[in-house]
Amino acid sequence: MATTERKPLLLDFEKPLAELAKRIDQIRQLADENGVDVSGQIRQLETRAMQLREEIFSSLTPSQRLQVARHPRRPSTLDYIQAISDEWMELHGDRCGGDDPALVGGVGRLGGQPVVMLGHQKGRDTKDNVARNFGMAAPGGYRKALRLMEHANKFSMPIITFIDTPGAWAGIEAEHQGQGEAIAYNLRQMFCFDVPILCTVIGEGGSGGALGIGVGDRLLMFEHSVYTVATPEACAAILWKDAGKAPQAAVALKIISHDLKNLGIIDQILAEPIGGAHSDPLTAATNLKQALLNNLDELNRLTPTERRQLRYEKFRKIGVFTELAH
């Protein structure tokens, strides 16, 4: 992960924090110029800044969490793999003539245990995003993922996936190449694998593009990530013919981690540093690694038959509701 100092990219709701930080810098500069000790005042302002950051990030709306999940400096799949793995080798190709850069994967070690890790990969800037197709995988990407997962199953290596995509690529060429079939086939095969499967939503989990690598024994999710059947913008455009109503759609869709945990969609929420994972990527990676190791330890104690049965039951329970009689 990059650790060099860069100018922060502030979201709209973070502007009060920027103003307070600017004020602290001005006071510190004036104090230095005039030889005045204002360390006590600066400490008070820094404490206030920390409190304000906690207040802001503990009360984000769904649409604000979506902004955090889409932050251009939010850690990506390759960032996390680099931070948590003991060793790592990326593998390429879907064995059908393509190598989709929007979905990456390979073999490595986690806590000394051989694993296969794969996930969506967004870019850091416009040029990189275009090369990665903004993390929207083509059919070849899902076929590459399946090849890697079959390799893991053959050699008894747990599968770890990282979800971060607004959705699968919806271009005409993707349809010609069998986008729906590629995702559906992945869903079926992931239910059949003997090895443990851990899936983590690290940023934006959207539609079938997320599900194509999202069937697992445990589904983890970072605190400020989102997971949804469609982007709020798409939902608003479909329901109200107005993408400007995306914030309203974000509330109705129940896209945030706490709502999804209450609905039984996800199994565990991973805490993020105050300010989001991009504010302290190494701490976020540490939290992720510990959660993965803990869950792997539990899943490794089960037999393949038990894992498959529990995986099936987990997804059969999703969407079950009770209708109250009037």
Q: Tell me which residues of the chain have a pLDDT lower than 50.
A: 2-4
What is the model's pLDDT at position 321? 72
What is the model's pLDDT at position 58? 83
What is the model's pLDDT at position 113? 96
Strand ranges (DSSP E) for 155-312?
159-165, 197-206, 218-222, 226-228, 268-270
| 115/118 Cα distance (integer angstroms) | 10
What is the model's pLDDT at position 2? 47
What is the model's pLDDT at position 6? 59
What is the model's pLDDT at position 4? 45
Please tell me whether residue 88 adopts helix, strand or coil conformation: strand
Q: Which residues contact 128 (CB under 8 A, 6 or more apart)?
A: none
Q: Which residues contact 171 (CB under 8 A, 6 or more apart)?
A: 138
- Residue written as token pair 């004020």: 23
What tokens does 220 get?
A: 């983890």
What is the model's pLDDT at position 100? 92
